[in-house]
Structure 1
C-alpha cells in the first residue's frame, strides 16, 4: 500500500519561516558572497579614489518574512558601493562585469 501525505499549510509555513531555513539561506548567501568577492574587480590604477571598495562592500542580510508573498526565510546578497550597478551592468564606456550574477550562478548550492 502506498504511503499518504497530508500537508498542513500552517505547518509548512512555519517550516519556511523557521530559524533552520533562515540559517541555511544565510549559509548559501555567504557562499555567494565569497564567490562575488573572488571575482570582484579591484582598481589598481594610480589615483583610483576607491580601490577595493566594491569588493569590500558585498553584504549578506536575512529575514524570515521574505519572498514575493513575504512568507518565507530568505537571504539577500547585495553590494552597498554607490557604483555597484555600473560594475554589474556596465556603462557606455565600461563593459559589464556581472559579478553578482556569476556569483549567484556559481555559489549557493
Structure 2
C-alpha cells in the first residue's frame, strides 16, 4: 500500500484564507454574534435618557485582508453607542455586562 503524501502550498493556503467562502463564513458567524448581543443587551430603565440606544447600535463588517498580518478574511462586530465601552467593561459604580464577550462565546459557532 502506497503512503499518501501532502505538500502544502503557502500561496494556496493564503488564497483560501482570503477567499469569498471564508469571508462569508466569518460574516455568518459575526451576524450570529450580533444577534445574540442584541438579544442580551441591557436596555435602560426609568431615567435613562437613551433607552434602547445600546441595543440598536450593533454593527458588522467584513474584510478580505484582516488579522495581525492582513493575510486573512475577518468579520468584526462592534457597538457604536458612545458608552459601549462602559457597558462592556463596567465602571467603579456599574458592573460590567460583557455583552460582546458573552455573545462571542455563545454565537461564534
Question: TM tier, shorter chain?
Answer: over 0.9
CA distance in 1, matches of 2:103, 2:43: 16
Aligned residue pairs total: 108
> TM-score, with normalisation over the residues of structure 2?
0.96
SS of corresponding position for 1:53: coil
- Runs of 4+ in structure 1 off by over 6 angstroms are none
Please list every run of 5 or more consecutive structure 1 residues that lacks an aligned counterpart in the other structure.
none
Q: Deviations over 1:20-65 (max 9, x none)?
A: 11010000000101111111000121x4211111011111111010
CA distance in 2, matches of 1:20, 1:92: 44
**What's the counterpart of residue 70 of structure 1?**
70
SS of corresponding position for 2:78: strand
**What's the counterpart of residue 50 of structure 1?**
50
Please list every run of 5 or more consecutive structure 2 residues that lacks an aligned counterpart in the other structure.
none
> TM-score, with normalisation over the residues of structure 1?
0.96
RMSD of the alignment, in Å?
0.8
